[in-house]
Structure 1
Amino acid sequence: MHKLKDNLLVKVILAIVLGIALGGIIPEIIGRIFITFNDFFSELLNFLIPLIIVGLIVPSIGRLGQTAGKLLLTTVLIAYGSTIFAGLLGYSASMSIFPSLLESQAGQINLAEKAKEFTPYFSIEFPPLFGVMPGLVFSFLFGIGLSRLKDSTFGKFADNFEEIITYLIQNLIIPLLPIFIFGIFLNMSYSGQVVTILHVFLKIIGVIFVLHVFLLLLQFTIAGIVAKKNPIKMLKLMLPAYFTALGTQSSAATIPVTLAQVKKIGVRDEIASFAVPLCATIHLSGSMLKIVCCCIALMLIQGIPIDFVQFLGFMLMLGIAMVAAPGVPGGAIMAAIGIIASMLGFSPENQALMIALYIAMDSFGTAGNVTGDGAIAVTVDKIFQKKIA
């Protein structure tokens, strides 16, 4: 019971159910209190997002750059390529499936207008210190520079700042998310949009689950061809890591199990010990697939134009922004939400729906990430079969 009480997914589901149930009966004076909180939380989130990006990306790039060799470069390129490929798969499948699947819901939702049925009592504005894109550029360039310094004061500062940001996510943002999501669904229930949203949620979750299974089969088929091994047998050996990730919702917490299973596949110890921890922070194919599909679905039902070039740029930036997301439930979406808002123009209401959808499937995305790490480890092991550079 204690584990259930502390489980973020359980809290989010409870928030959604309560928001739906109370939306039609709650007095306006009470509803406005939650909308006032949501308005404040949105401002807080917008303020922290650039800091989250800097706090997570700078030290992660700095640490990567201090590990020299072809092994690192090869693993990073394969992991990043796998993540972007998952995004392209999600985009192609979503644009093929969702227009007809969500046809009955298209145009029925306008969150920007209808979500204002409850109005906040007051608003407090505190703009971020800098924008998301400047934060990304600074993080990338500063991280590269930091990688050239050894035992520097800036390196220690970056590590400490990362700890602060992780603490704020774990102890401030994540605990308050269920209240934020409750307020969003309370408002949607009050304005009569919630039934449509739930229909959309169920359809999106079903499609994404099937795509995750297809992606894992494809990843291990490619790894099997490269390494000349049976992909189904390898995938079966990775199932303990998959189910562990379902429970922990954290790639980092699943590393010991992933490492053990990768070695059982036949990957050499020195390759496995290098590739698995690295991929746990940079390989996010499952998360990328989820986010892309959810974004397209929400844009389709609201009639927001979708442009492939825009989405490609979004995916390329997202693959970097999610690097080294904290090993806590919902960490990747917190690192990604700024890119979603700045590049796709998502409103606070849409951001809340993205967070709710992501957390509802967080276990499956994390499980897809860590299981796919096995395919990457097998591929890297084959490439460096003769020696490790």
Structure 2
Amino acid sequence: MKHRLGLLPRILIAIVLGIVCGLFFPDWLARAFVTFNGLFGNFLSFIIPLIIVALITPAIAELGRGAGKWLGITAAIAYGSTIFAGLLALAVGLTVFPMILTPGSLPMSVDNPEDALLGPYFTVEMPPVFGVMTALLLSFVIGVGLTLLPTNALQRGFVELRQIVEWVISTILIPLLPLYIFGIFLNMTVAGQVFSIIVTFIGVIALVFALTVVLLLIQYGVAGLIARVNPLRALATMLPAYATALGTSSSAATIPVTLRQAIKAGVSEPVAAFTVPLCATIHLAGSTVKITSFALAIMVLAGVPIDLGLMVGFVMMLGITMVAAPGVPGGAIMTAAALLSSMLGFTEPQVGLMIATYIAIDSFGTATNVTGDGAIALVVDRLSRGRVGMPATDAAISQSGRVANEG
């Protein structure tokens, strides 16, 4: 059987090739790749609102059906955990980044990035059908409305639209992503920026990894208090799921291991069978830590004034978009790109740098996500003890089936 190179190795190869080629490529050749990046970036801007509508609308509709109260409770706990993760990253970043990062040291983030970077030969405007905030509001209104309709006809239409958009992501955006990353690092190398950026982000990555460890300790500390179990023992029991996710970078592939270890940690089988597949879709705390931290780091490096209210709002919206992250490699950051551009005003090179850095440590975010699912299972199991058993809802099963490599 022919082995196919995964997304992470392709991204890493693209980064290395971009740096190496940037040392000797003439400007006219480098501009050819910059032109491709401009076209790809414009198409990404066009498709992002459609991604939001196609993914969030059916996700909300599916979460509103099935297990009723317990589905809502589990979703609320997962969302709360995700928001807490983002706020934790925000608080630590606001405290630490100004001390370890040099504001204004990211030349590609200035108001006129073409002053530092090469420009494309030409551009093709690809205006989106509607704006990002319109897409979000439309998704919420229609998604909630679908939960009230007695028929599933319209929901099936949005499910099919989701399949089309996921096809676009998996067959167009993701395969071309390494070439896009290559162009970004090629341009940064030609402009003489790349080495300072890489050195800077090594420290940020180390801090993000430490944050994911702290997050898991907090999650299991709270779960231990509520479920009345030893938190460190429960966390140790879930480590095989963490290790499996490190190797697979896939929540879906890790579900059997997560399920087995959650039961070993003391979660009843009905609760584990309900919460683990559902949380594999809606609980992306580790991914939220990464996105929030990297976004804040880029803003500090760019010398952009940090608006605390805006950043909190960004984290709240990010928690919602993470629920709809598509089941493809890098799906979470592709979905979050809409918020990075619309709420934080990120430029195309900044979004590209976010994507490259995020995917570089993709498996650690996924591992944090699935390990945290065990903590939520412990809490839900304690809350449901003595009550009606958990049903394995169609919503949980259908959504878990489309989750993969989103970490």
**TM-score where L is the length of structure 1:** 0.96
Q: Which runs of 5+ in 1 are unaligned?
A: none
Given the alignment of the two structures, is residue 377 of structure 1 paired with residue 374 of structure 2, yes or no? no
Matched-pair contact (CA < 8 Å) for 1:66–1:148: no
Q: Residue 300 of structure 1 corresponds to which residue in structure 2?
A: 300
Give me the whole-angstrom Cα distance separating, in 1, the residues matched to 2:34 and 2:141.
39
Task: Please say if 1:139 is aligned against 2:114.
Answer: no
Contact conserved, 2:14 with 2:178, CA < 8 A, in 1? yes
Query: Distance between the aligned counterparts of 1:147 and 1:276, measured in 2?
Result: 23
Partner of 1:65: 64
Q: CA RMSD in A?
A: 1.5
User: Could you tell me which residue of structure 1 aligns to residue 398 of structure 2?
Assistant: none
Cα distance in structure 2, aligned partners of 1:331 and 1:388: 35
- List gaps (5 residues or longer) in structure 2: 390-407
> Per-residue deviation at 1:198?
0.3
Q: 2 CA distance for matches of 1:388 and 1:97?
A: 46
1:287–1:369 CA contact under 8 A, matched in 2: yes
1:152 alignment counterpart: 152
1:51-80: per-residue Cα shift (whole Å, max 9, x none)? 111111111111111124321121111110
Q: Secondary structure at the match of 2:343?
A: helix
Correspondences of 1:1-389 after superposition (within 5 Å)? 3=3, 5-103=4-102, 106-111=103-108, 112=110, 113-114=112-113, 117-388=117-388
AA matched with 2:45:
N
> How much has 1:9 moved relative to structure 2?
1.0
Letter of the 2:104 counterpart: G
Residues of 2 paired with 1:379 and 1:187: CA distance?
Answer: 49
Give yes or no for contact 1:276–1:374 (8 Å, CA) kept in 2.
yes
Aligned length in residues: 386
**Matched letter for residue 223 of structure 2:** A
CA, structure 1 residues 257+306, in 2 after alignment: closer, same or farther (shift >3 Å)?
same
User: Identical aligned pairs, as a percentage?
Assistant: 51
Separation of aligned partners in 2, 1:287 and 1:175? 21
Shift of 1:270: 1.2
Residues of 2 paired with 1:168 and 1:137: CA distance? 23
Following TM superposition, by how much is the alpha carbon of 1:384 offset from its aligned partner in structure 2, in angstroms?
A: 1.0
CA apart distance, 1:114: 4.7
Deviation at 1:91, TM superposition (A): 0.5
TM superposition score normalised by structure 2? 0.92
Matched residues in 2 for 1:172 and 1:151: separation? Answer: 33
Q: CA deviation at 1:253?
A: 2.5
Distance 1:114 1:24, change over 3 A: farther
Q: Is the 8 A contact 2:221 2:231 kept in 1?
A: yes
Structure 2: distance between partners of 1:147 and 1:189 = 51
SS of the residue aligned with 1:344? coil
CA contact (8 A) 2:216 2:371 kept: yes
